[in-house]
Structure 1
Amino acid sequence: MTEQEMPRYQCHKKVRALKIGSIEHKPNPDQSGKTGSSSYGAIIHPDDKKYAAFDVSAEYICKHRPMSGGYYVVYEDGYESYSPAEVFESGYSKL
């Protein structure tokens, strides 16, 4: 990295997001234990109980490593992501 400061950017994106209350990891469906994976997906339970729990893929879990208290985020193009609470709350305001 050079001593020159990197360019600064400001976010202007509109997203849909839910604060994560808890994450229920799905068990290995192979009862024999012969197959293994780092994740089998999960069920995210939103912090706001008026929203239903929903499934996320194993790929989402492995890529984003979501944690309770953070945010499940969906961009306008449908891309699903995760943001830690402090990062999300400092960058987005509810519309």
Structure 2
Amino acid sequence: MSLKRKELPRYKGKENQVLALKIKEVRQAVDGTGVIVPEDEFYPEFEVSGEYMSKNQPKKGGYYVESIDGQPFYMEAGDFSKQYSLMK
């Protein structure tokens, strides 16, 4: 199932906004690609590239984050919660 960017929760930081999901589970395939399972069951699991997996090394409890221009990255939960708050 594909993830639709516009449906991701939006968070506000001091200088920018991001889209993000807390990670419940990460599964890595033999080919290096991965599947991220969001903690919020409203969102489907989704695939990420091998490049994302090797560069970011996402972990359970952290956050899958996308900048507003669409660049994906990973943040540890403590760092994320210090920098961003959910927009209502």
Q: How high is the TM-score relative to the length of structure 2?
A: 0.81
Number of residues of Structure 1 aligned to a counterpart in Structure 2: 75
The alignment-based identity, stated in percent, is 37
User: Following TM superposition, by how much is the alpha carbon of 1:27 offset from its aligned partner in structure 2, in angstroms?
Assistant: 2.2
Q: Look up the match of 2:35.
A: 43
Q: Look up the match of 1:58.
A: 50
Runs of 4+ in 1 over 6 A off after TM superposition: none
Max Rg structure: 1
Q: Structure 1 regions of 5+ residues with no counterpart?
A: 1-9, 29-39
Q: Which has the higher strand share?
A: 2
Cα distance in 1 for partners of 2:30, 2:45 equals: 17
Q: How high is the TM-score relative to the length of structure 1?
A: 0.75
User: Following TM superposition, by how much is the alpha carbon of 1:12 offset from its aligned partner in structure 2, in angstroms?
Assistant: 1.4
Deviations 1:41-78 (A, max 9, x none): 11000001110000000000100111100000000111
Q: Structure 2 regions of 5+ residues with no counterpart?
A: 1-12
Q: Look up the match of 1:27.
A: 30
Kindly indicate whether residue 55 of structure 2 is the aligned counterpart of residue 74 of structure 1: no
* Residue type of the alignment partner of 2:63: Y
Q: Which has the higher helix share?
A: 2
